[in-house]
Amino acid sequence: MSVFDDPGHFGRLWADTYDLPGGLPDPTRAVEFLAGLAGPGRVLELAIGTGRVALPLAARGITVEGVEASPEMVEKLRAKPGGEHLPVAIGDMADVPVNGPYGLAYLVFNTLFNLVQAQRQADCFRNVARVLAPRGAFVIETYVPDPADIDRDEQVQMREVTEESATIRLHRYDQAAQTFLRQTVTFSAGGVHLHPFAMRYMWPEQIDEMAGQAGFHLAERYADWERTPFGPDSTSHISVYRLG
């Protein structure tokens, strides 16, 4: 199955290495930010993964639930302290296969872009709106696309070279569809190993428009979890959308 059609492809490929040191940002600031919005109600994390954000939130006494397409990721979550008790629905995050109401939902670390079809991104917003409580908040974290990368259309990067193996990473952009396919290729004595990955990127104003079509308005936007003001040179954004 193509990575463009399989919502669980990321977890199957990367579950074993997702939590390795240096692979992901420290969640402390994100947890503090989200905890400040959570209130007394239930909180929903889309693409909960191995619980990098959800478990620290739950440790604060917040009622956190999750959606995750990859059983492999959920297995890793269950093995962590507190993970065995966290309710997680296995399914596509665009479908939001849970029942509300939730006071807060969030989707962090560029994961909105893992939905590689525009309609599925729109479905995600629409279905989050369905399960949120009145005036509930939906928090999105994504990078801001760099036109310099996209204008190159194709990229090849050397990732690692040892006496035993060599790894390269290749990107192919489709500017009309706003998608890219990334292939990480490792050559070794054991053969050739492929790790494909795809995204559909969006600019903040495009996300605002999609959110508006689902009944949301932009309430706050920052450049990072420390609430640094967002500006034209910001490379990422934390956006808080509210219903109504």
CATH superfamily ID and name for 3-145+201-243:
Vaccinia Virus protein VP39 (3.40.50.150)
Domain map of the chain by residue range?
A: 3-145+201-243, 147-199
DSSP string, 118-150: HHHHHHHHHHHHHHEEEEEEEEEEEEPP-HHHH
pLDDT of 10 reads: 56
* Topology agreement, domain 3-145+201-243 and domain 147-199: no
Q: How far apart are CA 33 and CA 226, in angstroms?
A: 8
pLDDT tens track for 162-195: 999 999 999 899 999 999 999 999 999 999 999 8
pLDDT of 18 reads: 59
pLDDT of 149 reads: 80
User: What are the beta bridge partners of residue 115?
Assistant: none
Give the whole-number percent of the chain exceeding pLDDT 70.
Answer: 90
CATH number of 147-199: 2.20.25.570
Distances, alpha carbon 73 to alpha carbons 36, 81, 127, in Å: 27, 15, 22
pLDDT tens track for 11-21: 555 555 655 55
Return phi, psi of residue 139, to 5°: -105, 130
More confident residue, 171 or 238: 238
Give the whole-number percent of the chain exceeding pLDDT 90.
Answer: 82
